[in-house]
Chains A and B, each alone.
Chain A
Amino acid sequence: MTPPPAGRSAVLETVDLAGQRGERALFEHLALALEPGTVTWLRGRNGRGKTSLLRVLAGLATPMAGEVLVHGQPQRRADPSWRTDLVYIGHQNALKDDLNSSEALAFLMQLGSVKPEPAQIDAALERLGVLHCRRALVRTLSQGQRRRVALARLALSLDKPLWLLDEPFDALDVDGIHALNALLAEHAARGGATLLTSHQALSLAEPVPRIFDLDRHGHA
């Protein structure tokens, strides 16, 4: 993936999007565009629908109204193979307790039609500072180590244009935050677009994160 030319169209955008949880409307008339080479910080008070919005954008939930466009094509009608371009990391780490870190990471990559070599897995784990845990069962890891193993997917997915990350900084220490910031910066430099939620202030210097505040946009 090469850095994007100026004026390149959005990787993902929403048109008049509305979402709900149960019977309660969370947001409506939402217009959001994720452009190549950017990091967007999705903000909002607790319960405003940040996770719900990420799930809608990933195609895990159906919007109440409106559309999500991926590379200009409606997500629902687009070829499901568009998900090869997507990395979604939710609140949960999606790691099985009885697999070791390498196996758990390899499985998650296989789901995205990527079969990394063991050396690539090791390199990804090293980048997040958990190489020493590669043979350890997930059940034996701390919360922070589990989060790092889950985030090691990003090091293997730098060529995927769209990252949707739900509270990726949760449970990370300072070193972990630095490692994740470096990945976000490299992804953006390669032309990727990231949308992430975080309850703590971002320390990412380059690119400067754009802010999309759900309290101000698309208030239902």
Chain B
Amino acid sequence: MTELFVAVLVRDLRLASRRRIDALLPLVFFIVALSLFPLGVGPEAQTLRQIAPGIVWVCALLASMLSVNQLFAGDLADGSLEQMLLAPQPAVALAAAKSVVHWLLTGLPLILVTPLVGVLFDLSAPALGALVFGLVLGTPVLSLLGALGAALTLGLRSGGMLLILIVLPLATPALIFGAGAVGTVEAGLSASGHFSLLGALLIATAIGAPWATAAALRISTE
């Protein structure tokens, strides 16, 4: 099972390194979208601090969705997906590898640039820490759910719109708990409850989503 996982992971990272513009698109979208808010809302620091968590999470969610519909589409078009499904290992390894690749190329870069957002939105150090930790727990959930949505809508006309309609409601809890954790810290309270819920969400998604994605891939390629 690890052979398929590693083979897909290495190949997709190699492909991303050769298509850097495409790979950087979610990160660029995230930064540009976030930097527009202080310009639109105004420079009032208190207002920016209040809206920052929600805005960061919404932008992270939308940035994740930007690239997720291409997760399997290219492999379906050139026949690679069939070959991967014919590997002697379970297809869940393929689904897990694709989710990890998506997180490495989308979620991780967003987390790494989020400290800059603290400067942009005048966040305190504890609030910024809570925001980053929430994203560490929450962005893998977005990638896992995104992979599931991409597999369910694979090969469908208007699949991109359907993908958004499937994934956004499922991702809403992560957004609520992630943004809520920052608000709780700013109010001087412990955010451990929010983080526990995000952690539970991550565990449940990590256990269930790859199996569902693998099943959806088999159905979509029938």
Instruction: Please give the residue numbers on chain A whose beta carbons come within 8 Å of chain B beta carbons, in ascending order.
Output: 58-62, 80-84, 86, 88, 90-99, 103, 107-108, 110-113
Contacts and interface: CB of A to CB of B under 8 A. Distances in A.
Contacts of B19: 98
Interface stretch (B3-11, B59-67, B119-127, B163-171): B3-11
B15 A60 contact: no
Highest count of chain B CB atoms <10 Å: which of A81, A84, A95, A107? A107
Contacts of A108: 83
A112 B80 contact: no
What 9 pairs across the A-B complex have the smallest Cβ distances? A92-B79, A94-B79, A110-B7, A83-B88, A111-B87, A98-B18, A84-B88, A94-B83, A94-B80
Interface residues of B, number: 24
B88 A81 contact: yes
Given A84-B88, A94-B82, A111-B4, 9 more contacts: A60-B85, A92-B82, A93-B78, A94-B80, A95-B78, A96-B11, A98-B15, A113-B88, A113-B89
B104 interface: no
Given A110-B3, A111-B4, A60 B11 contact: no
B88 A80 contact: yes
A100 to B, nearest CB: 10
B221 interface: yes
Contacts of A93: 78-79
Interface in B4-34: 4, 7, 11, 14-15, 18-19
Interface string B29-68: 0000000000000000000000000000000000000000
B86 interface: yes
A59 B83 CA distance: 11
Contact of B84 (A90, A97, A111): A111
B86 A86 contact: yes
B90 interface: yes
Contact of A60 (B7, B18, B78, B86): B86
A95 B11 CA distance: 12
A57 to B, nearest CB: 11
Contacts of B78: 92-97
A92 B80 CA distance: 8
Contact of B79 (A61, A91, A103, A112): A91
A108 B75 CA distance: 13
Contacts of A88: 82-83, 86
A62 B86 CA distance: 14
A80 B90 contact: yes
A58 B88 contact: no
Contacts of A62: 222
A83 B11 contact: no
A43 B87 CA distance: 27
A74 B59 CA distance: 49
